[in-house]
Structure 1
Amino acid sequence: MRKFVSFSIAAMLITVLVFLTQAQQLSDKAQLGRELFHDPTFKGTINPKVATGLSCANCHADFDDEAEPDGVIRAGHSVIGVPQRGSAKGGMIKGADFARAAGGGGFCYQHFLQKVPESKVNPTAIPAEHAEALMAYFEAISDGKKGPQFEMQMLDATAKTEAGEKIAAMTGDTKKGWELWGRACVVCHPTPKKAGIGIQLVRTRPPRDIDKTIIRWATKIRGGGSLMPFYASDILSDQDIANILAFLREQMESTAR
């Protein structure tokens, strides 16, 4: 009987030890994912010649920014709940590719962090160990939560143009636009007259046709393009974008005086 009890206790201790070891491994993996999430060099694995300087954290919160807003408007939704979504990029990444592409992070890894043209992106090209680490991190911080509920709207070229023209025709508030600029745009455009990851928007001379420029910018904000991520309507409303554009119009017109 004593031998049986001793054996049972030993087996239990071994089970606990294995569990703790696995938990520690998961913790290490999740920690790597956290570091990758905030690192534009991806732990030094991205070639500096193609690195944009962007990280996952520039476009996505790794906390519930609806429940605990920090004032920043990010182009992407929070990564809380990513493991439960099952698809990304409007259903373009799904099935077995979903986890292998780090819940959609593999697209950003190539396109936004390395300037790979959108048409040539392979979301599963992200190193497997990095995809696993990111998913482990998303799993750890989600803790079973579903996260933000949204429907991804992928606009085609015609829809982007129509959306841009509609927004450009709206009246905006320059003061609100300046505030929104500080919350949504400065990560890539430090000021309208200074380039960062994004280009300098307001130059010493205004463009020949400010109206056409406003339409082009409205189209890019809503639909994205090149390294410019698109801002869905649940993140920036049409009026929000119109306000930002009103501010930029004021800045451009002031250079002509």
Structure 2
Amino acid sequence: KKRLRHAVAGGWVLLVLGLAISVPAQDSDLVAGKMLFRSTEISETGLTCWHCHANFNEKKTPDGHVRPGYPLYNVGWRSTWNRWDGQLLSSLDEAIASCMTRWLTKRQTTGYDGEEAPAHRVRQLRAYLRSDEVSPEQKSEPIEPIRDDKMPSDRMLRLGDVGFGGAAFKSSCGICHKTDGTGPAPSLVRNGYSRYQIAKKVRGLSAKGLNGLKMPSFSKGRLSDRRLVNVVAYVYQL
């Protein structure tokens, strides 16, 4: 009986170990990808995927933020993607890698791109973005960002409302630019920028960045010219 009990116990141990070992690799990638989406573990800049992209349905469950990037809810099975500069990409892996290289990985000595994105991190984020939690319908149409180099005139930039601008700043910019300097981007208090410089940075038309990093830009589809003018008024008076 004693031997039988030991044999049964040993069998259970082997069964448990076998189950643990047989957990699909994609499941562990999914768990890791979900954590990495909001973690600075893969970031050398302080930015995360979450700062620029919602991973939920913004229309049904808004969280009060309007991020520069379009939401990644239900996008895991797109056939084509647009890179941050408008270049067409043919795979989710390319899209993930291009974002990581542009904004997350260790900065190069020149330019605004970082080091190559680690392949295992790309794989983990892909598993998460294609999970039932993020892409339940497994279909979606590519989004074409509204790109326009035309800026509001200097006259228009002087007509912004500081009150409305403060509210727009809180929802669109405050996720990164915190007035106490604790965010991944610098505080804009006493920033010294002109109205035109502020608007160009928001639209991604400024050639300058900070510490090898350019701010993720807001297209008109994410921040209208009217809201931009108000944000400019608020930031200018900080």
TM band (smaller chain): 0.7 to 0.9
Query: What's the TM-score once normalised by structure 1's chain length?
Result: 0.68
Q: 1:112 to 1:35 in 2, by over 3 A?
A: same
Secondary structure in 2 matching 1:244: helix
Which whole-Å CA distance do the structure 1 matches of 2:218 and 2:102 have between them?
A: 16
- 1:106 maps to what in 2? 97
CA contact (8 A) 2:65 2:171 kept: yes
CA contact (8 A) 2:158 2:233 kept: no
* Letter paired with 1:245: V
Query: What's the TM-score once normalised by structure 2's chain length?
Result: 0.73
Unaligned runs of 5+ in 2: 1-18
- 1:201 maps to what in 2? 188
More helix by share: 1
CA shift for structure 1 position 185 = 1.2
Q: 1:94 aligns with which of 57, 82, 89?
A: 89
Which whole-Å CA distance do the structure 1 matches of 2:195 and 2:100 have between them?
A: 30
1:129-140 equivalences under 5 Å are: 129-140=120-131
Which whole-Å CA distance do the structure 1 matches of 2:227 and 2:75 have between them?
A: 27
1:5-84 equivalences under 5 Å are: 24-42=24-42, 51-84=44-77
Q: 1:224 to 1:79 in 2, by over 3 A?
A: farther
The one of the two structures with greater contact order (alpha-carbon pairs below 8 A, sep at least 6) is 2
Which whole-Å CA distance do the structure 2 matches of 1:249 and 1:119 have between them?
A: 26
Pair 1:228 & 2:222 matched: no
Which whole-Å CA distance do the structure 1 matches of 2:203 and 2:71 have between them?
A: 19
CA RMSD, aligned part only?
3.1
Q: 2:168 aligns with which of 180, 188, 199?
A: 180
Which whole-Å CA distance do the structure 2 matches of 1:148 and 1:70 have between them?
A: 23
Which whole-Å CA distance do the structure 2 matches of 1:58 and 1:69 have between them?
A: 14
Number of aligned positions between the proteins: 207
Q: 2:151 aligns with which of 149, 163, 171?
A: 163
